[in-house]
Structure 1
Amino acid sequence: MKKLISFAVVLFMTVTVAMADRTVKANDPNISFTGRVQRMDDGAVSYDWVGTYVQTDFTGSSISVRMSEEGESYHQVFIDGKLVGKLRFTGKEPHDVLLANKLGKGTHRLRLQKVTEGEYGRSTIFSFTAGGKGSFTAVQPKQRLIEVIGDSYTCGYGSEGTQDSHFELKTENCDKSYACALARYFDADYVIVAHSGMGVTRNYAGKTMRTMSQRYPLLFDDHDSIAYDFNQYRPDLVIINLGTNDFSRSGAPADYVSKYVKLIKTAKSHYGERIPVLCVTPHSANIFLLAALKELGEKVSGMKNVRVAEPMPNIVVKGHDIGSDWHPNWKGHQKIASTLIPVVSTMTGWEMENDI
């Protein structure tokens, strides 16, 4: 009888161990972050820039994250390339969030993407847990990487809103911006360095916050002044979409062109002179911004692989392509991306799809 009891105990312990969940820290080599992130000594990883995403291939019946949030953010959860949820993250204390469960056998791919701006929240991930003796494997980076420097258009401000609505954090979604649309079209990874209301040399309505020229060299968008280590990644293309806020007030800023040229030179100083830089003409550019961008084109004509995209006015139309506060909705962003696809293809040599 004692032998039977002992055997039952051993069997129970074996089953329990076999079904144990697997937890790895956020800085584990099998967890892949894309974007500007800070890796801490305790294994946690923090970030606030919009668009930052983390990926891993895992096995297990569920996947959860232990995290905290300074403020508020929204993250999208993708499993095997399919969107399964958009979650609101809050809470300064570390806590567990279930991302997906009741998953089938085999390997699954998680992508957790921050779709709102750093001004509203900084996220810290401590660990991931795969249920039922799960395992983790690193996701290899794509062959192409695009860095996009911009303002609210790049952030996807109001891209899920309606024309008669005002800004709400829940309707901001960078994944429905032209920037992410371009990355998907060319099967590229991306890094977004963008903040609503910011300009090259002055901000919307005279806001005294740091401009994008001042934010670009920083690790965090809005939560510290730590210098960013530009050796963390090297993009194959840099896109800059700035100027709408610089020219949101009457009068043209005298140093817009010179500061823009300086920003281009800053990117090239870190990524190399041959890095292609595409300067976007915003779809809403007024005559003063158009004149400044024309001057910019003349100033950079002697620089390697720098181009100012030609304007395509009136492609984003009222009643169909507008989201919150007169910003493009997803349909509007699709149009903007479509105007840039051939320019990107020409600058990089990346082939366009045959069925366009």
Structure 2
Amino acid sequence: MRAALRIAAAVTGTVLAGAGIAVALAATGDGSPSDANIAFVGRWDRSNASAYVPNWAGAYFRTGFTGTTVKLKQRNTIDLYYSIDNGAVQYIQNVSGTVNLTPSKLAAGNHTLMVSYRVVAGSYTGDAVFQGLVLDSGAKTLPANVSPKLVEFVGDSITVGTTSSKNALTAYGWLTGEQIGVRHTQIGYGGGCLVATADGCVSVASQFLKTGYPATSANWDFTRYTADAVVINLGTNDKSHGVSSADFQNGYVNFLKTVRGKYPSAAIFALETFSKRYVTETQAAVTTQNNAGDRNIYYVNTEGWLPSDGLSDSVHPNDKGHQAITARLAPIVAAKLTPVTTSPSPPVPSPTTPVPSPTTPVPSPTTPVPSPTTPGPTTAAPGTCTVAYRITNSWQGGFGADVTITNLGAPVTAWTLGWSYASGQSVTQAWNATVTQSGTVVTAQNVSYNGTIATGGTANFGFNGAYTSSNPVPGAFTLNGTRCSTA
């Protein structure tokens, strides 16, 4: 009998587990949870090969697929977000079983999919258990196009995105990761503290070592991935639970040591809490570790990051607040990530290089210098505007970019920026602007909150894109039909 089972395993591609139980091996492309073409980002419990469970906020998966439809196999009722072909994120509620994500069929061809389950204050709304994808007959999954870099954002309900429109997906952690073109995940929950307290405030620092939020969660296997950067935003809740200054500072020092032990090469950022609680203690913890020889830990001053209308209540940022935080934080994080490029690049700055100010543009080691003689499709002479186009990150077949417009002319209340690509690049996702593309021609228009640019003022937006063989900077830009100088 055992010999027969061994033969069956060899013929059918199965492995034997336990006392003679056959467990099917996944075939790459079949859409099962263990399909190698599906990239699971964040802390997923994979102990059951047929049902993967995401833990913590902001966990998601990406994959490509062929055909005209895609369906999601769920165990029980769940609320979730999804995006197909980098389109607008869709939200569906109370779905279960085989969930059709394409009620209108797609054009035949290759497509992409992102799925993230809705999180409220660290607890999933419904049964977040992924059991696979159902595709058209003969269709298959394709490898996900994801960056090899990953950033973890550790915090409380602010990091989770509580009160923002799409929770984790509209929080600064998710937005920052998308802006700089890296994988990202949020390790946090509502009401969490840095230091565990007698009245029941759970320590995020302790749970950081776990697969999920519950105290009974298994220890996380840190060999699953290595974070390239960790952003910590803790201390907002500790004050109301009576944590002393000394205990908070000691707790922060110990947590920095814990993170460093798990990620020896990661850049670690300790944010000043937006409520300005434990500012001195957070700075002192960072200084302690710097003085101990760890120069890759940085205190981040967040003064002035939140606009006056950037909160939904007295504590939690709204969508505008998270976008404002992202605009300041993304360049700081990107500056400390070793670029992933397909061509030689200059050395990465030393860990002792000061963190750039929030307004400092991040230079791209792969950005070619545009030729001043490159012609562009313009109708007016330059001089009333300048455009700084910076590639903030690059990976195989993709890139992230940041664009800053400076208005040198009369004030404007709405703007449209245009440019053309020369090497087949395309924009796949944008923030702080509505970006469309027709062939090689790209048009970016302001969104509701950033249309006004005073004389001497600026507007900023970012996007992710794709390219094939090369990725040169566009040679010319027009703002509302007038040619701009390049910066």
Could you say which TM-score interval applies, normalised by the shorter chain? 0.7 to 0.9
Residue 132 of structure 1 deviates from its aligned partner by 4.1
Change (3 A) 1:223 1:138: farther
Deviations, residues 305-337 of structure 1 (Å, cap 9, x unaligned): 001101314x4244x222256411111011112
Letter in 2 for 1:255: D
Which of 146, 150, 155 is the aligned partner of 1:141?
Answer: 146
Q: Is 1:58 the equivalent of 2:65?
A: yes
SS in 1 for 2:62: strand
Unaligned runs of 5+ in 2: 1-28, 340-361, 364-388, 391-402, 405-487
Change (3 A) 1:310 1:216: same
Which residue does 2:12 correspond to in 1? none
Which residue does 1:228 correspond to in 2? 220
8 Å contact kept, 1:278–1:306 = yes
Change (3 A) 1:224 1:324: farther
CA distance in 2, matches of 1:188, 1:115: 21
SS in 2 for 1:133: coil
Residue 84 of structure 1 deviates from its aligned partner by 4.7
Which residue does 1:99 correspond to in 2? 101
Which of 158, 171, 174 is the aligned partner of 2:168?
Answer: 174
Residue 269 of structure 1 deviates from its aligned partner by 1.1
Q: Higher mean Cα deviation, 207-216 or 101-110? A: 207-216
The two structures have a TM-score, normalised by structure 2, of 0.59
Unaligned runs of 5+ in 1: 1-21, 161-171
Which residue does 1:152 correspond to in 2? 157
CA distance in 2, matches of 1:49, 1:90: 21
Map of 1:314-329 to 2, 5 A cutoff?
315-318=305-308, 320-323=309-312, 326-329=315-318
The structure with the largest strand share of the pair is: 2
CA distance in 2, matches of 1:266, 1:197: 21
CA distance in 2, matches of 1:346, 1:34: 22
Which of 332, 342, 346 is the aligned partner of 1:343?
Answer: 332
Deviations, residues 216-247 of structure 1 (Å, cap 9, x unaligned): 01112238420100000011111111111112
Residue 250 of structure 1 deviates from its aligned partner by 5.4
Q: Is 1:280 the equivalent of 2:294?
A: no
Residue 23 of structure 1 deviates from its aligned partner by 5.7
Residue 210 of structure 1 deviates from its aligned partner by 2.7
CA distance in 1, matches of 2:237, 2:283: 17
SS in 1 for 2:119: coil
Residue 344 of structure 1 deviates from its aligned partner by 1.9
The structure with the largest helix share of the pair is: 1
Change (3 A) 1:207 1:127: farther
Change (3 A) 1:126 1:224: farther
8 Å contact kept, 1:159–1:324 = no
8 Å contact kept, 2:174–2:185 = no
Letter in 2 for 1:174: A
Letter in 1 for 2:101: L
CA distance in 2, matches of 1:305, 1:251: 27
8 Å contact kept, 1:279–1:309 = yes
8 Å contact kept, 2:193–2:204 = yes
SS in 2 for 1:34: strand
CA distance in 1, matches of 2:93, 2:215: 19
SS in 2 for 1:341: helix
Which residue does 1:48 correspond to in 2? 55
Residue 68 of structure 1 deviates from its aligned partner by 2.5
CA distance in 1, matches of 2:187, 2:322: 18
8 Å contact kept, 2:209–2:220 = yes
Which residue does 1:7 correspond to in 2? none
CA distance in 1, matches of 2:70, 2:303: 44
Letter in 2 for 1:307: Y
Change (3 A) 1:176 1:85: same
CA distance in 1, matches of 2:195, 2:183: 28
Residue 130 of structure 1 deviates from its aligned partner by 1.0
Deviations, residues 93-125 of structure 1 (Å, cap 9, x unaligned): xx1111124111100100001241442445111
Map of 1:191-210 to 2, 5 A cutoff?
191-202=185-196, 208-210=200-202
Which of 3, 20, 31 is the aligned partner of 1:24?
Answer: 31
Which of 204, 210, 235 is the aligned partner of 1:218?
Answer: 210
SS in 2 for 1:65: strand
Task: Please report the RMSD computed on the Cα atoms of aligned residues, expressed in angstroms.
Answer: 2.4
Letter in 1 for 2:332: V
Change (3 A) 1:190 1:104: same
CA distance in 2, matches of 1:135, 1:323: 43
Which residue does 2:261 correspond to in 1? 269
CA distance in 2, matches of 1:60, 1:53: 22
Residue 298 of structure 1 deviates from its aligned partner by 2.4
The two structures have a TM-score, normalised by structure 1, of 0.80
Map of 1:109-148 to 2, 5 A cutoff?
109-117=112-120, 118-121=122-125, 122-148=127-153
Residue 297 of structure 1 deviates from its aligned partner by 3.1
| Structure of higher RCO (CA pairs closer than 8 Å, 6+ residues apart) | 1
CA distance in 2, matches of 1:75, 1:111: 11
Q: Is 1:239 the equivalent of 2:244?
A: no
Which residue does 1:294 correspond to in 2? 283
Letter in 2 for 1:56: T
Residue 73 of structure 1 deviates from its aligned partner by 5.2
CA distance in 2, matches of 1:74, 1:229: 27
Which residue does 1:67 correspond to in 2? 74
8 Å contact kept, 1:155–1:177 = yes
Residue 43 of structure 1 deviates from its aligned partner by 1.9
Q: Higher mean Cα deviation, 247-256 or 99-108? A: 247-256
Runs (4+) of structure 1 moved beyond 4 Å? none
SS in 2 for 1:52: strand
Which residue does 1:13 correspond to in 2? none
Change (3 A) 1:57 1:348: closer
Which residue does 1:76 correspond to in 2? 81
Q: Percent identity?
A: 23
